[in-house]
Structure 1
Amino acid sequence: MSIDPAIYYAAVPAVILVGLTKGGMGEALALMGVPLLAIAVPPVQAAAILLPILVVMDCVSLWIWRQHNDRTLLKMLLPGALVGLAVGWATSAYVPRDALRLIIGIITVLFAARYFYNSWRTRHGHVIHAKPHRLAPAAVLGTLSGYGSFVAHAGGAPFQVYGLPLKLPPRDYTGAAVRFFAILNFLKLGPYFALGQFGTENLTISATLVPLAIAATAFGGFIVKRMKPDVFYPFMYAMAFIAGLNLVHDGARAFF
């Protein structure tokens, strides 16, 4: 079996970006992973190559953030996310992924823009309180996160839309996010296997990239653990804004 070396020119930066995200540095970097790798291989193959690497990264992230979590956030979002995964698996062949990217991207851009507007208001004397947990938004956004994760690799934005306004301690928020997406990625292994995407070539490429994935994830965790809340939250909202713009761009490109 001969693997085109050009694949690694795209795969190495893709894995570094996704690894930094898995360490806790925000969804925007991860959204660049599959498109980068898709320069060298078909998009479905790119996603299949990255999925085993994501599972390894999840294991590293779970270890890094093992002492930090917010169980209530997980309890609120996971039931909807599992429903979203199931619906995504059942309907992925029939739903236009670009339309989903566009919708989620617009919501995320507006959500991040609202944060920066509120930050401006806060500097002028307005007080913005943390939002409480709410069952209906959690069900909707959890389902969107699971569904988007399966059909469009866009599960992070809905998670952020629900989780960031809670204003949790940064480490607890990141620990919950790591657990949430580790569960979703593990559950996606079965459907991808059923689609026949875990052949020898794909798994070989994935295996050779694992050491780099571990190093990038550990470095991302190292940086985020040292961020203060007044740095962490503007950074995460900026990442959400960039992620939303990327989704809008990818979704709109199919219609214009």
Structure 2
Amino acid sequence: MPPLITDPSFYAVAAPAVLLMGLAKSGFGAGFGALAVPLMALAVPVPQAAAIMLPLLAVMDALGLAVFLREFDRALIRLLLPAGLLGTVLGTLLFGVLPAKIVAGLVGVITLAFLAIRWFFPPRADAPPPPRWLGFLLGLTSGFTSFVAHAGGPPAAFYLLPLRLSPVAFTATTAVFFAAVNASKWIPYAWLGLIDMRNLATSLVLMPLAPVGVWLGVHVVRRISQRVFYGLFSLGMLLTGVKLVWDAVV
């Protein structure tokens, strides 16, 4: 077996997947981040795609924290992060029991249902924030789906979107949340045998692309209006939901 993946078809899908995840980490195009592993999984199995993406996420998380660390919502992190870490524990225990494709399909269905509810029943300007128990439940779901397929963005967004945070506050809060969740995956991934030299070497080849998407997104997210930001986010979630459901069905 070669020390890294050499198939050109893999890099044809892996390169745009890494750029999409980088854009998601910057907040701009955040809804597209959950597409990265399904896109890469066109060429390799989902667990391997997740393992290759993990070191790249570490670089992206570090870049995101360097830019947004001082601007996250501390109260939201105190609510979401313990639930997200508990979700990674659940993902470790159920890994291999539930096929990643099925989990991704469920995320897709929930994503499309959420968008449909927001479209047909838009929240009022004076609507109260969603309850904290819902935030904990969605944080738990986000940690679980993030562990299985790095698809934790949509569940977390279900709780954060109705809060109408500014684009920078939204991006900073998700950056801190997912940096901690992703850091918690390393030991379980190694225990499950997903961290090996072939996957790490392949990650290293893709590493130069990791900061590119983050850099592009950061320069846009501070200049984009709140309306356009959330419009693009919803579009990304729509495409993500359709893709994840399609992968689960076909």
* TM-score w.r.t. length of structure 1: 0.88
Contact 1:61 1:178 in 2 (8 A): yes
**Greater Cα radius of gyration, structure 1 or 2:** 1
**Superposition RMSD on alpha carbons, in Å?**
2.1
Shift in Å, 1:165? 0.3
Aligned residue number for residue 40 of structure 2: 37
1:61 correspondence with 2:64: yes
Shift in Å, 1:8? 2.5
1:232 correspondence with 2:235: no
Aligned residue number for residue 114 of structure 1: 117
Distance verdict in 2 for CA 1:40–1:95, change over 3 Å? closer
* Range moving further from structure 2, 72-81 or 177-186: 72-81
Total equivalences in the alignment: 247
Distance verdict in 2 for CA 1:97–1:238, change over 3 Å? same
**Sequence identity of aligned pairs in percent?**
38
Pairing 1:10-21 to 2, within 5 Å after superposition: 10-21=13-24
1:213 correspondence with 2:210: yes
Distance between the aligned counterparts of 1:240 and 1:10, measured in 2? 19
Shift in Å, 1:208? 2.3
Distance between the aligned counterparts of 1:41 and 1:107, measured in 2? 25
Q: Which secondary structure state, in structure 1, belongs to the residue aligned with residue 168 of structure 2? A: helix
| Structure 2 residue corresponding to 1:149, chosen from 133, 146, 150 | 146
Aligned amino acid, residue 182 of structure 1: A
Distance verdict in 2 for CA 1:33–1:248, change over 3 Å? same
| Runs of 4+ residues over 6 Å off in structure 1 | none
Distance between the aligned counterparts of 2:101 and 2:208, measured in 1? 33
Distance between the aligned counterparts of 2:101 and 2:38, measured in 1? 13
Runs of 5+ unmatched residues, structure 2:
none
* Range moving further from structure 2, 35-44 or 215-224: 35-44
Shift in Å, 1:27? 4.2
Q: Which secondary structure state, in structure 2, belongs to the residue aligned with residue 162 of structure 1? A: helix
Aligned amino acid, residue 138 of structure 2: L
Aligned amino acid, residue 84 of structure 2: A
Distance between the aligned counterparts of 1:14 and 1:35, measured in 2? 9
Aligned residue number for residue 172 of structure 1: 169
Aligned amino acid, residue 211 of structure 1: P
Distance between the aligned counterparts of 1:170 and 1:84, measured in 2? 26
Aligned amino acid, residue 68 of structure 2: W
Shift in Å, 1:189? 1.0
Distance verdict in 2 for CA 1:195–1:96, change over 3 Å? closer
Contact 1:64 1:218 in 2 (8 A): no
Distance verdict in 2 for CA 1:9–1:236, change over 3 Å? closer
Aligned amino acid, residue 72 of structure 1: A
Tell me the alpha carbon deviations over residues 193-231 of structure 1, each in whole angstroms, 9 at most, x when there is no partner.
112222222212212222221122111111112111121
Tell me the alpha carbon deviations over residues 217-254 of structure 1, each in whole angstroms, 9 at most, x when there is no partner.
1111111121111211222222222222222222333x
| Structure 2 residue corresponding to 1:186, chosen from 180, 183, 188 | 183
Runs of 5+ unmatched residues, structure 1:
none
* Range moving further from structure 2, 156-165 or 3-12: 3-12
* Range moving further from structure 2, 225-234 or 99-108: 99-108
Aligned amino acid, residue 41 of structure 2: A
